[in-house]
Amino acid sequence: MAWLTVNFDSKALNMPVMLDVLIPQGRGGYKQLYLLHGAGGDHTSWLTKSRAADYAEGKNIAVIMPSGNNKCYVNNRYGKDYFTFLTEELVEKCETWFSLSDKKEDRYIGGMSMGGYGAVHAALKRPDLYSTAFSYSGLLDISERFARPQGLDLSPVFGKEEEFSTQDYDLFDFINKMQQKNSENVDKTTEFILTCGLQDKRINMTTKLYRSMQEAGYRVSYIEGQGNHDWDYWDRCIHNTLEYISGKNKFIEDEEASDWRKLCQ
């Protein structure tokens, strides 16, 4: 497996950006996993803090890791278009540069914390693009986060709380809105896998979104396991995810393993 650090001029963001890519050294046609980091991190987070590269070894998957710059992977109310970057430019660029499969069934997106929100947000709005979205300890309820920002000022990203629905930033809002439309016309073919550690203080965000999505008829699974809001937990998440995508169903000595294996079947 090869590791690429890419520097290119993004048109969507109007600035040079960096990303890390893990890619097999085989004959091409690889599946793609867009892997998003959380607040405070960047394109290096998954590589420096988890064993993602080790787990990706020998699998037919390219792992693409962009930077989110604390901007939640949405088109910002007062800032740049990170959603356009993630769902249009980045996909276009990677599929032009590299020998990747461009089928929806081979395109995956996942992330932890803020990246979990970004992954679910992207897959809800672009169900044509991703076969599966993974959220690990996702910051899935931005209204709750907005009320308790804990030092992270999200107003440039989302604007005022009353403005959330104008851009469909709030996932619950968005799901409700889609339900009110003609429900039969909503593409619900994308699979959502929401995971969270039982010791995570914000586990309610994941369970709440799981229920909403389930009620709305999305293909959604919820997996909980021992774990906190930390890299010990996300390391197991990325391990399971890569096994899941590669379809090898390898046995993992892990409390959640049985749940993941069930999903794999």
Scan residues 54-93 and list those touching another protein (CB under 8 A): 92-93
Closer of 44 and 214 to another protein (Cβ): 44
Tokens of 224: 């909980």
Select the span of 25-33, 201-209, 211-219, 231-239 touching another protein (CB under 8 A). 25-33
CB distance 213 to 179 below 8 Å: no
Is 265 buried (19+), middle (13-18) or exposed (0-12) by CB count in 10 A? exposed
Q: Which of 79, 97, 165, 199 binds another protein (CB under 8 A)?
A: 97
Q: Establish if 99 lies at the interface with another protein (CB under 8 A).
A: yes
**Residue 95 touches another protein, criterion: CB under 8 A:** yes
Q: Which stretch binds another protein (CB under 8 A): 95-103, 143-151, 211-219, 248-256?
A: 95-103
Collapsing DSSP states into helix, strand and coil, what is residue 148? Answer: coil
Instruction: Kindly calculate the radius of gyration of the chain based on its CA atoms and give it in whole angstroms.
Output: 17
Among 108, 241, 119, which residue's Cα sits nearest to residue 171?
Answer: 119
Give the total of residues touching another protein (CB under 8 A). 22
CB of 53 to another protein, least distance (A): 10
For residue 89, what is the DSSP state?
I
Minimum CB–partner distance for residue 16 and another protein (Å)? 9
Q: Does 251 bind another protein (CB under 8 A)?
A: no
Residue 138 and residue 111: Cα distance in Å, rounded? Answer: 8
CB 116 within 8 A of CB 138: yes
Q: Which of residues 129-158 bind another protein (CB under 8 A)?
A: none
3 binds another protein (CB under 8 A): yes
d(CA 220, CA 190): 9
> Is 33 a binder of another protein (CB under 8 A)?
no
42 makes contact with another protein (CB under 8 A): no
State yes or no: residue 5 binds another protein (CB under 8 A).
Answer: yes
Spatial distance between the Cα atoms of 108 and 123, rounded to a whole number of angstroms: 9
> Which residues contact another protein (rule: CB under 8 A)?
1-9, 23, 25-28, 92-93, 95-100
